[in-house]
Structure 1
Amino acid sequence: MKKLCFYINSDWYFNLHWKERTLAAKEDGYEVHVVCSFEDLNIMSDFKTQGINVHNSKMSEQSLNPLILVKDLIKSFNIIRVINPDVLHCITIKPCIIGGLYAKIFRKNLVMSFVGLGRVFSSTSKKYKIIRKCVSFFYQWLSVKSNIFMIFEHEKDRADLISITGVSPEKTMVIDGAGVNTEEFKYSPDPQNTIPVVLFASRLIWSKGLADLVQAKAILEERGVRFDLIVAGITVKNDPDAIPLDTIEKWSDSKIIRWLGKRDDVKYLIENSNIVALPSVYAEGVPRILIEAAAVGRPSIAYDTGGCSSIVINNLTGYLVEKNIDDLSSKLECLIKNKDLRLQFGKNAHARVNSHFCSKYIIKKTLGIYKRFNK
């Protein structure tokens, strides 16, 4: 039996975005392993119950301390060497660096998933510019491997990495996000809310744009345009970009937002919202919340960054706006006031998910990449 090993930072992200593909690989005959920093024992237990082998790397997701990086590298190397996978699939930058080094040294088949190039490639800070040069050099060095394949969530990231590394385009593929189970996320009509509801559901970091939505709400209230801003999110530890919890609580106490905390019923929240907003300012992949919103038939509004344009087609499935709070406010006002427009955008969005982002297409493409190494 072929061994497939996923290597990633955080358990919640893997559970949300990769669980379907992990189980599909097991059904396809692979012995599947997941090397991850498991902080949620329920997630670990769930994977074990479903026949997935789990290994707790206890890796530090955000630390740039060289000593911690070396510690993470040694521990991860030891875990992966014991597994001895036929295919190593690394997801996000730090696992791609450590796992890529392992695959290079031990000549293993390597798949690297770039779920958005993130702050390393979009930030203008001196620190990230230095990191970007180092990471780019490493990817360039790694890309000459014959048994390597790179997956991107949208074409711009693919083009950028090909330009940076010189990797052959034949070793790359665009797979549209994590996909969504359209049997679970079914279309539902625009809800009859007395006051329109705008949903923000994401990690609570400044880069996701929640502060811009708060400002937009204040602008619209001055115009007499009312809406409820519902916030469901995952608090982030040890990240300089994290929104402090006391700031979230202050907004909540002032009735600027309705703070729900971490939720596991995102489908219900989407169904009971009229609009989904994610004015993210950094180069992420295709945000899952926007895919799920489209599947349910909700129009979305997002900044034109990263892979948001893959799912939000301007003036067709929602609004894709420049990083401008006035424009964000105006487009929100249009959607809040015009139910017919929301309905039309929502129907268009649902149709686009069925043709581009359905889970079965994503799974088929991903499993097809693993099969390349069997030839």
Structure 2
Amino acid sequence: MNKKIFLIGTTASNLFLFRKDFIISCVEKGFQVYALVSEYDDYWLEKIKELGAEVITYRLSRSGLNPFNDIKSMLELKAYIKQHKPDMVFSFFTKPVIYGSLAAKFAGVNNIVGMIEGLGSPFTEHPHGQTLKIKLIRFFQVSLYRIVFPILDKIIFLNKDDPIDLIKNNKIYHKNNAVEILGPIGLDLKDYPYKAWDSSNQISFIFIARLLAEKGIYEYLEAAKIVKSKYPNAHFKVIGGLDLENPYGLSKQELDDVVSTGIIEYPGFVNNVAEEIQNSAVFVLPSYYREGVPRSTQEAMAIGRPVITTDVPGCRETVVDGVNGFLIPKWNVAMLADKMMYFIEHPEQINLMGYESYKIAQDKFDAEKVNIKLLKIMNI
């Protein structure tokens, strides 16, 4: 009989995009794969099924704070686990790791793995401090990790800072040799082919992320104003959606105001991210969010673009300062503008540093290599 593995995530699109190669490898090794998702539409469910996995939908509020709803989600997951009796349960993102792992333990699963893909908002420092609500969420999250981590056979992180800030600094007990550093999730590099920047074009900068303070959107806009005042022909593009429910999000009015000034171009939601990067000279992500390793930066590097990003956990995993771009202190608009202007004043560095980005991406971000490492960590 085939061994069974449960993959417990949240959105179907994320599970497909970030676990596609893992699912294919497990199916090829003879595993029966079950993909559990709580946010979905028919398109993404079909895409997952095409990989050879069975899909199970369950209810979970990703950002909800009602513990009774979370317990209901855990009991629903426990019922599915008892029904299908998987040999391994592999959960990722905060709530699935907590409630999926507890459900697996209560259902008697012997091999339980959790992946922490960045510490997220509760561990993100803001220039004016955290709200009381965020501090409370962090307290409860750490308290739940204290319950869950001791039952995990493997706790996988994407960067070396996260286990220090989460486990070591909070003195969270875990099994011996459970903590592993995977590195970036990786990309299918065929989807992001290298393309040298056309130096006959006007120098342009691109920001790709949700339009949140934590992602550095305000610093990007302020730096763009400074650069534009000195180099009016510099071009700035922003790609990413508004998150109107997030208290730290850019508002629709703020976005409309900055677009009307002509400082940035905002095409809205796009499906051709690779093409947008290829048409830009430099990738900029002044994020101070607790990333795992930002995917958009990996995409830009694979295509061959220099990167300006912050010297914070996750982001710093992508740039060798002065080699394939620049690391700047978080919240430092003046230095961000200065590094942007460096590329305007030294345009020959765009393709030189961009090629260094490409080489790093080939070495570190190839999903096939990452997948081999992940399978080895999980003893599959």
TM exceeding 0.5: yes
Match for residue 329 of structure 1 among 320, 332, 337: 337
Q: Which amino acid aligns with 1:320?
A: L
Alignment of 1:123-142 (within 5 A): 123=125, 124-142=130-148
Q: Greater shift after overlay, 346-355 or 190-199?
A: 190-199
Q: Say whether the 8 Å CA contact 2:116–2:155 is kept in structure 1.
A: yes
Question: d(CA) in 1 for partners of 2:321 and 2:237?
Answer: 23
Q: How far, CA to CA, are the matches of 2:319 and 2:113 in structure 1?
A: 28
Task: Determine whether 1:359 maps to 2:362.
Answer: no
2:208 to 201, 205, 212: 201
Say whether 1:291 aligns with 2:298: yes
Alpha-carbon distance, 1:88 to partner: 1.1
- Preserved contact between residue 152 and residue 158 of structure 1 (Cα < 8 Å): yes
Name which of structure 1's ranges 318-327 and 163-172 shifts more when overlaid on structure 2.
Answer: 163-172
**C-alpha spacing 1:169/1:284, structure 2 compared with 1 (3 Å):** farther
**Secondary structure at the counterpart of residue 208 of structure 2:** strand
Residue-by-residue CA offset, 1:180-211 (whole Å, 9 max, x unaligned)? 22333232212235321211112232211112
Q: CA offset at residue 274 of structure 1?
A: 0.5
Closer/same/farther in 2, CA of residues 102 and 280 from structure 1, 3 Å limit: same
- What are the ranges of 5 or more consecutive residues in structure 2 without an aligned counterpart? none
**CA shift at 1:221, angstroms?**
1.5
Q: What's the counterpart of residue 118 of structure 2? A: 116
**1:291 Cα deviation after fit:** 0.9
Q: CA deviation at 1:156?
A: 0.9
Match of 1:53 in 2: 54
Alignment of 1:191 with 2:192, yes or no, is no
Structure 1 contact 37–56 (Cα < 8 Å) conserved: yes
The code of the aligned residue for 2:122 comes to: V
> Is 252-261 or 362-371 further displaced after alignment?
252-261
Partner of 2:265: 258
Structure 2 distance, partners of 1:235, 1:86, is 40
Q: How many angstroms apart in 2 are the aligned matches of 1:281 and 1:64? A: 24
Task: Show the counterpart of 1:340.
Answer: 348
How far apart in 2 are the matches of 1:169 and 1:177? Answer: 23
User: Aligned partners of 1:215, 1:182: CA distance in 2, in Å?
Assistant: 33
One-letter code of the match for 2:31?
Y
Contact 1:62–1:238 (8 Å) recurs in 2: no
Matches for 1:217-228 after TM superposition, within 5 Å: 217-228=224-235
Residue 235 (structure 1) shift = 4.2
**Residues 238 and 32 of structure 1: CA distance in aligned 2, closer, same or farther (over 3 Å):** farther
Alpha-carbon separation, structure 1, partners of 2:17 and 2:241 = 12
Structure 1 residue 364 displacement after superposition: 0.3
Identical-residue share of aligned pairs (%): 26
The match for 2:75 is: 74
Distance 1:86 1:138 in 2: 24
Which one is further off, 72-81 or 254-263?
72-81
Matches within 5 A, 1:291-330: 291-323=298-330, 324-330=332-338
Residue type of the alignment partner of 1:3: K
SS at match of 1:219: helix
Give the alignment's Cα RMSD to 1 decimal.
Answer: 2.1
Quote how far apart the aligned CAs of 1:56 are: 2.1
Provide the TM-score with structure 2 as the length reference: 0.90
- The answer on whether the counterparts of 1:191 and 1:271 sit within 8 Å (CA) in structure 2 is no
Instruction: Give the distance between the partners of 2:36 and 2:246, measured in 1 at CA.
Output: 22
Distance 1:234 1:8, change over 3 A: farther
**Is the contact between residue 238 and residue 265 of structure 2 (CA under 8 Å) also seen in structure 1?**
yes
Give per-residue Cα distances to partners, 1:268-326, cap 9 Å, x unaligned. Answer: 11111101111111211100111111111100111122211111121111111002111
Secondary structure of the structure 2 residue equivalent to 1:371: coil
Shift of 1:368: 1.6
CA distance in 2, matches of 1:227, 1:63: 42
Question: For residue 58 of structure 2, what is the amino acid of its counterpart?
Answer: S
Shift in Å at residue 344 of structure 1? 1.8
Against the structure 1 CA distance between its residues 240 and 28, is the aligned structure 2 distance closer, same or farther, given a 3 Å change threshold?
farther
2:118 aligned partner, one-letter code: G
| Conserved 8 A contact 1:92-1:113 | yes
